[in-house]
Amino acid sequence: MQFQQLQYFVAVAETRHFTRAAELVHVAQPSLSQQIRALERELGADLFLRARGNITLTDAGEALLPLARRILADADTARHEVQELVQLRSGRIRLGATPSLCTGLLPDVLRAFHDRYPGIRLLIEEGGSHDLVRELARGALDLALIVLPLPTPSPALTTVELLREDLVVVSSPDAPRPGGGRRTVRIADLEGERLVMFRHGYDLRELTVAACRAEGFEPVFAVEGGEMDAVLGFVRAGLGVAVVPRMVATRSGRGLRVTPLARPGLYRTIALAHRSDVAPPRAARELQRMLLER
């Protein structure tokens, strides 16, 4: 049984005329009649009573008609759904990002994407780069914004560098200025400062601790274990200072003093990652393009 045969059958059933049915489906009348007879042979039953000038459905035809209409309607729905996806009018994107990028980089880009493609659902998962790489590998994410370099590079991932972002020191305006009041702070100036530190597994924790150790000292933690919002809140409360991305400090600067790091400073490399063996969905590729062109 062919899909085209069902189209021809429904056309004849609705017009009760072979010639008009052929015109309706844009096919020559002999071809339509041939396909209807082929369908009848396959089903083992006549579908029409062909009296002169009077075409009626047999019992078999009556039974097939609602089923054929349903099959054609389902096919039309399937075609429409696929076209919607192709034309970016519906669908979803599963995007992973570190919490700091959800705070700093993503809001403006996602707003622009949503304005352009309001039918696309955006599913965001926050996590550290290690966790996001694992979720990408098991197919739970389409794209992820991660911090490079990864401790163990994965050949199963394709990564594209997106940006290099400076890190800055944030402190409470009511607390003494770090670094003795200078306009910039060296990493060495953080020796003896009480730091508000992120949880284990957080990229910024590892970067900050490694920079302090490279200067020959172990950082002192006033509070540790928080996510980005908690760390900024503790700094505002005067519990200590923190090293955070410039974009986050700019967005969340209310109630915070922002001090740049002296050259060479600290920065992190943000990359967009996806699985190498599977092309991201159409909507995810469009978001990828907007991120790369931002």
Cα 90 from Cα 98, distance rounded (Å)? 26
pTM summary value: 0.70
Return the residue matching tokens 């994107």.
Answer: 93
User: What are the Cα distances from residue 218, in Å, to 173, 190, 201, 204?
Assistant: 25, 10, 18, 16
Residue 196: which pLDDT band, with cuts at 50, 70 and 90?
very high
Residue 273: which pLDDT band, with cuts at 50, 70 and 90?
very high
Q: Give the phi and the psi of residue 261 in degrees, each rounded to 5.
A: -85, 140
> Which are the contacts of 151, defined by CB distance < 8 A and separation ≥ 6?
130
Cα 181 from Cα 58, distance rounded (Å)? 95
Share of the chain above pLDDT 70, in %: 99
Cα 87 from Cα 65, distance rounded (Å)? 33
Using alpha carbons, select from 186, 254, 196 the residue that is nearest to residue 223. Answer: 196
User: Over the stretch 218-233, which tens digit does the pLDDT of each residue have?
Assistant: 999 999 988 888 999 9
User: What are the Cα distances from residue 90, in Å, to 80, 81, 120, 246, 281?
Assistant: 11, 8, 5, 34, 12
User: Over the stretch 147-175, which tens digit does the pLDDT of each residue have?
Assistant: 888 767 777 889 999 999 999 999 999 99
User: Over the stretch 245-257, which tens digit does the pLDDT of each residue have?
Assistant: 998 898 876 789 9
